[in-house]
Amino acid sequence: MPRPPLTALGHTHYDVVVVGAGAVGCATARELAGRGYKTLLVDRGDIGAGTSSRSSRMLYSGLGYLAVRYPLWQMVLHPIDMLQRLLYTRDVMLCRAELVRDMPHHLTRHRFVYPFRKGDQYPPWLVDIGFRLVEALGAWKVPLAYRRVSPADAARQVPMAGGLGEAPLSIGTFDEYMYAWPERICVDTALDAEARGATLRTYTRVTGIRQQDRRWITDLEDADSGEPAQVTSDMVINATGPWVDRLTGAQGPQPRIVGIKGVNVMVQLPPEWRGQGLEAFSSKGEPYYVFPWRDHHFIGPTETHVTENPDDIRVTDAEIDYILSEANLLFSDLHLTRDHVLHAWCGVRPVTSTDGKTPRNLVRAHQSPDAPGLVTMTGSTIMLHRHAGRLAAKTVEQRLGRRGPAPTGMIEPPTYDGIGQRITPEHVVHLTDLIRRRLPDGLNPDLGLARAEELSRITAAALNWSEEQRLDELRRFEEDSARVYRSVN
């Protein structure tokens, strides 16, 4: 469907305006439109261009969510915390099974190893129980195929295990999934919402939200032209991820999220390790991974609390050095340095907070009695995006009444003969949109730079760009690559 003019939106009253076209916003719009609500989905940038494009790209089984920061003997003293961890992990595993069933073309399965080392915080028997419990919480729908074996057996099954230094006591092996293309999940979900009746408009800033006569007025502005518009709705869903407390007119009395900065570093590891991954705990006691990515691997992430605007967050030298040093503790023969780094990126995960300070593993729909009809979504990841969308839709149903059943399955997208034919119906506005989020090129080791010239000409023909516009879009794409992906060398 062609991108609607901004002025046309002002002539329609919506049941719900969803702000933020990341994974959660797209899933929310899909749920609402499928249930019969007149829905508008807007984003100041492109679909999936924020936190959803800065993730660790892993469909995670959730073992780390059971890991506690206090001494193990104190678990009995924190029953509410442990219950929340169990419930969150259950939701994670059920959503994992749902995505494996519904989106197999967006996932790749890999064998991971978990080394048991002398002095580990968690003894092997407890980790064994943890893996079994995680599988059970997911009703065994997508088995982890977890086994603990000797280092020699693990090395025969997974060559990466043979590269571990300080010979582990034993090694656990299990299956994990990686998103082959996380940004495309957001795009497909947004297009599915549109096919069900939602209106989608990207590059549309929200400059203000206010309530008037029991309705909500959302002030919009075209991000490129500055053209203004106003839309009215019965409800507004704030699904802006780590920006939820910064959305003008939607701020709460205290922060509803704690920002957790995660940094990942892309490297080239031995070719016989291709497609294999590792989960461990760092020297700080934080979850640490080696993720397989095509012919490469990326390692991380960090877990740093941040309060800065996510727009201003960048990868630092100290974070790169920390991630490399942790890898060298695990694989002492690699001797990784910055010279081995292709690029690094970071994102800010919006973890729910109930007191404005403490992070909680909760997917939550916040509602303020002072602002009835304004809902703020927090605590979700790409893996939980459908769960968050259903939670948001149930919140709307409680206020506006039920309109129809929840949608089941994805609507089959149309087939395009060439790249140029998909540009307009898939809401491509800038060259970066096409390379980063409509095609897989943007996730190549060269970040899509190799085909940028060719794709710029295809996009220019489809969108009637002048040669000056085409060259400007190429520069914009290169600047975006430098901003999002830091080159170390």
pLDDT digits (tens, 9 = 90+) for 280-308: 988 888 889 999 999 999 999 999 999 99
Q: Is the pLDDT of residue 72 over 70?
A: no
Q: pTM of the predicted model, to two decimals?
A: 0.95
Mean pLDDT of 31-35: 98
Q: How far is CA 18 from the centre of its chain?
A: 18
Mean pLDDT of 358-385: 93
CATH number for the domain formed by residue range(s) 6-52+183-254+354-400: 3.50.50.60
Burial, 118: exposed, middle or buried (Cβ in 10 Å; 0-12, 13-18, 19+)? exposed
Q: Which of 28-42, 295-309, 354-368 has the lowest mean pLDDT?
A: 354-368
Burial, 254: exposed, middle or buried (Cβ in 10 Å; 0-12, 13-18, 19+)? exposed
Question: 97: pLDDT confidence band, cut at 50, 70 and 90?
Answer: very high
- In 3-state terms, what secondary structure has residue 26? helix
Phi, psi of 289 (to 5 degrees): -135, 155
User: What angle in degrees, to the nearest 10, is found between the helix axes of 452-463 and 467-484?
Assistant: 130
Mean pLDDT of 263-274: 97
Task: State the maximum Cα–Cα separation within the chain, in Å, rounded to a whole number.
Answer: 71
pLDDT on residue 417: 86
Amino acid at 274: R
pLDDT on residue 132: 92
Question: 260: pLDDT confidence band, cut at 50, 70 and 90?
Answer: very high
Q: Is the pLDDT of residue 100 over 80?
A: yes
Question: 71: pLDDT confidence band, cut at 50, 70 and 90?
Answer: low
What CA–CA distance (Å, rounded) separates 66 from 89?
Answer: 7
Domain(s) labelled CATH 3.50.50.60 in the chain stretch across: 6-52+183-254+354-400
- Give the contacts of 377 (CB within 8 A, at least 6 positions apart): 24, 28, 237, 238, 239, 244, 363, 364, 365, 366, 388, 391, 392
pLDDT on residue 342: 96
pLDDT digits (tens, 9 = 90+) for 438-457: 999 999 989 999 999 999 99
Mean pLDDT of 373-395: 96
What CA–CA distance (Å, rounded) separates 208 from 198?
Answer: 21
